């Protein structure tokens, strides 16, 4: 189906927030083989991303194993990332919860320790109504004075925040963006149409992110950027530059993105962050730690993922372990 186009100029930074655009890595949380958070590796990862041109970092999102960290660890990881970044790039703290009071508590901590913004996922498992979603996010935004990015990922949460609800939330002063992880570009375009003049629209799906940016999106909150940060940063920069460019300029960016399509797919052969943590382990950047109920990548997918990493230059040929 043909993709309808929007006017890219409508997607601009709003509400006085720090510029959070381009490639925003959904950072993993490194762990030792025994499952303890590896703060040394985490600090090194942050600097690696800054050196590679990553434009922003999400700490303790889905990819950062927010579901397996306790509250103290959750806050300590955010603090570590903020300290390691040293103000060089914006840090977005994952502070969502399926309890509104818990989300407010986590968001308050993120504000206190210096996060630039928070990422607030739709409440999972309890399946609130659209009114419940509106009141939940409004309550967080009104309780804590920090730029708030909404996060809609129905494939994980079993609830879908509809564009009309997002448009209502876009009127709240410190709600500044939405990460749309539906993987549906038409949904992203609908969000741009209904609230792109008020909040930034980010992709949360690597396979469709560049198309959404070309249509006017602000950036890509990316899993794949964990392993090829320079490539994702370059693609996002070119896609944003091509928003108002010629069709030839836009097609060139789409063609470049196609070279990463197989890697994007391989990042999800099992539940995120299983593949990306295994990939980073093979690259020598983190240890093997991952917490139950998550497990290491199944043997049957390892050759496929290694092959894709080698193809994009992220890994030299090596024995599969």
Burial class of residue 313 in the structure, from the number of CB atoms within 10 Å of its CB (0-12 exposed, 13-18 middle, 19+ buried) = exposed
**54 contact partners, CB below 8 Å, separation of at least 6:** 23, 24, 25, 89, 225, 229, 232, 233
Using an 8 Å Cβ cutoff, are 54 and 25 in contact?
Answer: yes
**How many residues in total does the chain contain?**
321
Active site residues: 151, 179
**234 contact partners, CB below 8 Å, separation of at least 6:** 53
Q: 3-class DSSP state for residue 2?
A: coil
Q: How many CB atoms lie within 10 A of CB 35?
A: 14
Give the C-alpha separation, 106 to 268, whole Å: 28
Using an 8 Å Cβ cutoff, are 288 and 296 in contact?
Answer: yes
Give, as one character, the DSSP assignment of residue 86.
T
**277 contact partners, CB below 8 Å, separation of at least 6:** 28, 286, 290, 297
Using an 8 Å Cβ cutoff, are 3 and 186 in contact?
Answer: yes
């Amino acid at each position: 189906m043909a993709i309808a186009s929007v006017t890219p100029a409508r997607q601009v930074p709003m509400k006085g927030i720090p510029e959070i655009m381009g490639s925003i890595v959904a950072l993993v949380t490194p762990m030792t083989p025994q499952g303890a958070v590896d703060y040394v590796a985490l600090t090194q990862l942050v600097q690696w991303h800054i050196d590679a041109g990553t434009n922003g970092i999400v700490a303790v999102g889905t990819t950062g194993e927010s579901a397996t960290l306790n509250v103290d660890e959750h806050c300590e990881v955010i603090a570590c990332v903020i300290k390691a970044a040293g103000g060089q790039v914006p840090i977005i703290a994952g502070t969502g919860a399926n309890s509104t009071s818990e989300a407010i508590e986590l968001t308050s901590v993120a504000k206190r320790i210096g996060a630039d913004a928070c990422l607030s996922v739709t409440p999972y498992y309890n399946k609130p109504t659209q009114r419940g979603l509106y009141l939940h996010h409004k309550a967080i935004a009104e309780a804590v004075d920090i730029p708030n990015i909404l996060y809609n990922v129905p494939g994980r949460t079993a609830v879908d925040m509809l564009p009309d609800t997002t448009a209502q939330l876009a009127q709240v002063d410190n709600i500044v963006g939405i990460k749309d992880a539906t993987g549906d570009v038409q949904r992203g375009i609908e969000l741009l149409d209904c609230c792109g003049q008020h909040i930034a629209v980010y992709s949360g799906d690597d396979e469709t992110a560049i198309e959404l940016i070309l249509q006017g999106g602000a950036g890509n909150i990316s899993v794949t950027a964990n392993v090829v940060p320079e490539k994702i940063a370059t693609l996002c920069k070119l896609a944003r530059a091509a928003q108002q460019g010629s069709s030839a300029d836009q097609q060139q960016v789409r063609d470049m993105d196609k070279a990463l399509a197989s890697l994007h797919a391989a990042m999800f052969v099992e539940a995120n962050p299983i593949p990306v943590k295994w990939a980073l382990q093979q690259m020598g950047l983190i240890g093997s730690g991952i917490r139950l109920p998550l497990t290491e990548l199944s043997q049957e997918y390892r050759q496929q993922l290694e092959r894709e990493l080698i193809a994009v230059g992220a890994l030299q040929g090596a024995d599969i372990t």
